[in-house]
Amino acid sequence: MSRGRLSWVAAGCLLAAVAGLGTVRADGREISAEERALLRVFELLAMDLVPAEKALATAREGKAFPAVEIELEVGRSEGKSVIVWNVELLSGSTMHEHLIDARSGKLLRSGVEEEREAAQLAKAVAASKVDLAAVIATIAKTVEGVCISIELQFDDGRAVWEAKVLSGGRMGEIEVDAATGRILSEEEDGGDDDDDEDDD
């Protein structure tokens, strides 16, 4: 690998070692106390990083493209561990990727690539009345934990923001309606859906 070149692993892939990771794995087995402790360590580390909203603002500086994804990632650069926010902005069929240092908040690298799912993402962007910054704010106000990724998706004719949140050593998924900003569901990975309207 050339000097200065970055290699990345999505935080979700890192956590795949403890995988599926609410209370139950994808294979139906409960996660161990050690696996839960690893999730908790990652959660505590993530609490001290640059917040997602600041990373998003840095990536969007001077750009009018809609943001469609933000994800906390870890990797190696010049022999050192690096934690970044990967922010993706969509322009037509082109994805603009910005890596923001999650410790300092500085832009490390920007790149452009063709997006294979541009048509689906364009539909989601067109249907979305709530941008990524508003979703970050909604999740921060209503959910305990550390959000490590949010992605815009177009499923079953509906645009939704899907977020992954670490809380208390567990990984959860939150769906937010991209048209209204309303939380549609909260689910602990491997657990049952918990519609926000059912909460007391």
Q: What is the pLDDT of residues 134-168, one digit of tens each?
A: 999 999 998 888 899 999 998 888 999 999 998 88
> Where are the alpha helices (H) located in 50-143, listed in sequence order?
52-60, 118-127, 132-142
Q: How confident is the model at residue 14 (pLDDT cuts 50, 70, 90)?
A: very low
* Beta strand spans in 78-169 (E): 80-91, 94-101, 107-114, 146-155, 158-167
Specify the pTM: 0.78
C-alpha–C-alpha distance, residues 152 and 69, integer Å = 6
**Per-domain residue ranges for the chain?**
6-198
Pair of tokens at residue 28: 């139906």
Segment (H or E) for 38: helix 33-47
Is the pLDDT assigned to residue 42 strictly greater than 60?
A: yes
* Average pLDDT estimate for 78-85: 86
Beta-sheet pairing, 107-114 with 146-155: unpaired
